[in-house]
Structure 1
């Protein structure tokens, strides 16, 4: 059985959150794991706006203030 099947499907939302996590950590000079448990919106809102021009995409993915990295 392929490994991916044992872990369940990764949704588009999860994949997008993982991408945001890597990018935000890179900009902040941190390891992605340093963002664990932090609110996605709090982290994104603390970054320069030009780095994240996809606020509409974030909202369209259903990411809310309660979602965390």
Structure 2
């Protein structure tokens, strides 16, 4: 897999049982289903949590990720 693509992916622990169920129902689209559900959730909850800068102490940002 090209490094450019890996730079844009995050690997999140996900129960195998749930992933198998998605594969059974949606075959080769399981990843797209997860992505769509997360995007929908973020859209629906965008106004519930204001995005304010917090004092996080020492650290740095690596693109949008804060590293303490």
Q: TM-score normalised to the size of structure 2? A: 0.28
Q: Which has the higher strand share?
A: 2
More helix by share: 1
TM-score by length of 1: 0.28
Looking at both structures, which has the greater relative contact order when contacts are Cα pairs under 8 Å and sequence separation is at least 6?
1
Q: From the CA coordinates, give the structure whose radius of gyration is larger.
A: 2
